[in-house]
Amino acid sequence: MKKILVWCLLACLTGVAFAADESPADSKAVDRVKAAATVLDEIQGAGDQGIPEEVLGSAECVAVVPSMLKGGFIVGARYGRGLASCRTPKGWSAPAFFTIGGGSFGLQIGGQAVDLVMLIMNKNGMDNLLSSKFKVGADASAAAGPVGRHASADTDWKMRAQILTYSRARGTFAGLELAGASVRQDKDSTREFYGRMVPFKTSLQGTIDAPDTAYPFLQTLAKWAKNAAK
């Protein structure tokens, strides 16, 4: 019964997300690129409330989901559409578009939209991302990321997880426990953005050049990653 409720709730959230995408303001994947850039800019511009410089500077890939939908009554669920970029010898890669969805049991009444940031911290995590289909917590270990201008002196955050996760809701930014969420390539957004189907590996490994419409996100990412590397 609980599984049926989860799927029903996810279907509702998916319908809301697609309805939003069909509106004039959010009809194109490029709008998601701009929104992701804004999310990252605002989070890192918050100083002591952002992602620590050492953590961002160590990330192999960065993924952002603007306004991931959360909702539930008795059974919680979440659904979102985002994009990711990875480090390459030439700089940050062309973006890869993905969907993220998953359910969790527990008393959750009401719904809200949160901005989600995922940092892929090592090669194993990057390999899972490149597969274009994995489950957080099962295929790739994840943990709530540390918050602040600088990370704690201890290196636990480097060793315990392939992915560090963060969320922002109603102005509050914090590490997020995200387990059981499934990440898959967003084929519709990929075709819309590139005009053809582009595999995850092709974009994230730097095999293709990023189009001009990717620059708002890539330039913002490069700016903060460069600051973090200083």
pLDDT in tens, 113-140: 788 899 998 888 888 888 877 777 677 7
> Under a CB-based contact definition with an 8 Å cutoff, are residues 72 and 83 in contact?
no
Residue 196 has a pLDDT of 95
Token output for 62: 């960065």
Residue 109 has a pLDDT of 40
Residue 142 pLDDT > 90:
no
- Which amino acid makes up residue 123? K
Q: What is the pLDDT of residues 10-41, one digit of tens each?
A: 444 444 443 334 333 344 799 999 999 999 99
Residue 20 has a pLDDT of 38
Residue 77 pLDDT > 70:
no
| End-to-end Cα distance, the chain | 52
Nearest-5° Cα angle at 4, 169 to 108 = 30
Instruction: Quote the CA–CA distance of 107 and 1 in Å, as a whole number.
Output: 16
For CA atoms 70, 122, 54, 218, the dihedral sign is: negative
Residue 70 has a pLDDT of 62
Residue 74 has a pLDDT of 42
Instruction: Quote the CA–CA distance of 224 and 207 in Å, as a whole number.
Output: 23
> HEC string of 115-172?
EEEEEECCHHHHHHHHCCEEEECCCECEEECCCCCCCCCCCHHHHCCCEEEEEEECCE
Residue 104 has a pLDDT of 53
Residue 178 pLDDT > 60:
yes
Confidence of residue 62 (pLDDT cuts 50, 70, 90): very high
> Under a CB-based contact definition with an 8 Å cutoff, are residues 118 and 98 in contact?
no
Q: What are phi and psi of 119, to 5 degrees?
A: -105, 120
Confidence of residue 60 (pLDDT cuts 50, 70, 90): very high
Instruction: Quote the CA–CA distance of 107 and 159 in Å, as a whole number.
Output: 32
Residue 39 has a pLDDT of 93
Nearest to 95 by CA among 220, 227, 230, 5: 220
Q: Which has more pLDDT, 151 or 109? A: 151
DSSP state of 219: H
What value does the mean pLDDT of the chain take? 77
Give me the count of residues in the chain.
230
pLDDT (mean) for 89-112: 73
Residue 88 pLDDT > 90:
yes
Residue 210 has a pLDDT of 95
Nearest-5° Cα angle at 149, 34 to 79 = 40
Instruction: Quote the CA–CA distance of 157 and 146 in Å, as a whole number.
Output: 7
